[in-house]
Structure 1
Amino acid sequence: MRVKKQKRHRRAVRFYTVCHGFRQPFKVLCDGTFVHHLIANRIAPADTALSNILGAPVKLFTTRCVLEELKRLGKSYTESLEAAQQLMVARCDHEKLKTADACISEIIGEKNQEHFFVATQDTDLRKKLQELPAVPLVFGLRNALFLEPPSKFQRQFAKSSEEQRLHMTDLEKQLLRKRTNNPVEDQEPEDPSQENAPSGDENENLQPQPRKHPVRKSLGVKDRPQFKRKKAKNPNPLSIKKKKNRQTSQTASKEDKGAGDDTARSRTRKRKRSRKSKKLPETSS
Structure 2
Amino acid sequence: MPRAKRSKQYKRLMNQYEINFGFREPYQVLCDSQFLEAAIRSKMDIDHILKATLHGNTKLLITQCSMRWLYARKNEPGIGAVIDFAKERVERRRCGHHPSDYPEPLDERECLHSVIDPSKNGVNKHRYVCAINDDEVRSSLRNGIQVVPLLYIRRSVLIMEPASSTTVKARSRDEKAKFTAELKTPGGKRKRQPEDSDDDVDKTKEGADQSKPEKKKTKKTYGRKEPNPLSVKKKREQKTHQAQKAPTKPDETAEGKEVKPDNGAQPDTAGGGSGRKRRRKHKSKNAIHDSKASDNQVEASVGEE
Q: What TM-score do you get using the length of structure 2 for normalisation?
A: 0.54
Pick 1 or 2: higher relative contact order, CA cutoff 8 A, min separation 6. Answer: 1
Contact between 2:64 and 2:97, CA under 8 Å: does it hold in 1? no
1:17 Cα deviation after fit: 0.8
Distance, in Å, in 1 between the alignment partners of 2:8 and 2:129 is: 18
SS at the partner of 2:159? strand
Q: Structure 1 residue 85 and structure 2 residue 87: aligned? A: yes
Residue pair 2:65, 2:97 contacting (<8 A) in 1 also: no
Is 1:106 the equivalent of 2:119?
A: no
Partners of 2:189 and 2:85 in 1: how far apart? 58
| Residues 114-154 of structure 1: per-residue CA shift (max 9 Å, x gap) | 11111011011111111221110010111210111101221
Q: Secondary structure at the match of 2:175?
A: helix
**What is the rounded CA distance, in whole Å, between the counterparts of 1:118 and 1:59 in structure 2?**
12
Contact 2:132 2:152 in 1 (8 A): yes
1:58 aligned partner, one-letter code: T
- Partners of 2:3 and 2:49 lie apart in 1 by 14
* Residue type of the alignment partner of 1:151: S
Q: Is 1:118 equivalent to 2:130 in the alignment?
A: yes
| Other structure's SS at 1:27 match | strand
Corresponding position of 2:264: none
Looking at structure 2, the residues matched to 42 and 91 of structure 1 have their Cα atoms a distance apart, in angstroms, of: 27
Alignment pair present for 1:28 and 2:33: no
**Residue 92 of structure 1 aligns to which amino acid in structure 2?**
C
Unaligned runs of 5+ in 2: 183-187, 191-203, 212-305
Counterpart CA distance in 2 for 1:30 and 1:19 is 24
Q: C-alpha displacement at 1:40, in angstroms? A: 0.7
Runs of 4+ in structure 1 over 2 Å off: 93-97
Q: 1:168 to 1:78 in 2, by over 3 A?
A: same
In the TM superposition, residue 104 of structure 1 has moved relative to its aligned partner by: 0.9
Contact 1:32/1:84 (8 A) holds in 2: no
The DSSP-based 3-state class of the residue aligned with 2:139 is helix
The 3-state SS of whatever aligns with 2:173 is: helix
Correspondence list, 1:66-77, <5 A: 66-76=66-76, 77=79
Aligned residue among 140, 143, 160 for 2:153: 140
**Partner AA of 2:95 in structure 1:** C
Matching residue within 154, 167, 172 for 2:180: 167
1:62 partner SS: strand
- Partner Cα distance (1:134, 1:80) in 2: 29
Which is greater in Rg? 2
Residue 55 of structure 1 aligns with which residue?
55
Show the 5 A alignment for 1:1-285. 1-44=2-45, 46-76=46-76, 77-86=79-88, 87-95=90-98, 96=102, 97-109=105-117, 110-131=122-143, 132-168=145-181
Q: Distance in 1 between matches of 2:129 and 2:71?
A: 24
**Which 5+ residue runs of structure 1 have no aligned equivalent?**
170-174, 186-285
Deviations 1:176-217 (A, max 9, x none): 89xx99xxx9xxxxxxxxxxxxxxxxxxxxxxxxxxxxxxxx
Determine helix, strand or coil for the equivalent of 2:163: coil
Corresponding position of 1:200: none
**Counterpart code for 1:48:** H
Structure with the higher fraction of residues in helix conformation: 1
Secondary structure of the 1:56 match is: coil
| Root-mean-square deviation (Å) | 2.7
What CA deviation, in whole Å up to 9, does each residue of 1:39-78 have, x standing for no partner?
Answer: 111102x111100101111111101100000111232211
How many residues align structurally? 179
Mean Cα deviation higher: 77-86 or 24-33 = 77-86
Normalised by the size of structure 1, how large is the TM-score?
A: 0.58
Query: How far apart are the structure 2 equivalents of 1:39 and 1:94?
Result: 26
- d(CA) in 2 for partners of 1:117 and 1:101? 15
Identity %: 26
Distance 1:123 1:176, change over 3 A: farther
Residues of 2 paired with 1:75 and 1:105: CA distance?
Answer: 28
One-letter code aligned to 1:56 = G
The residue type paired with residue 164 of structure 2 is: S
Structure 2 letter corresponding to 1:136: P
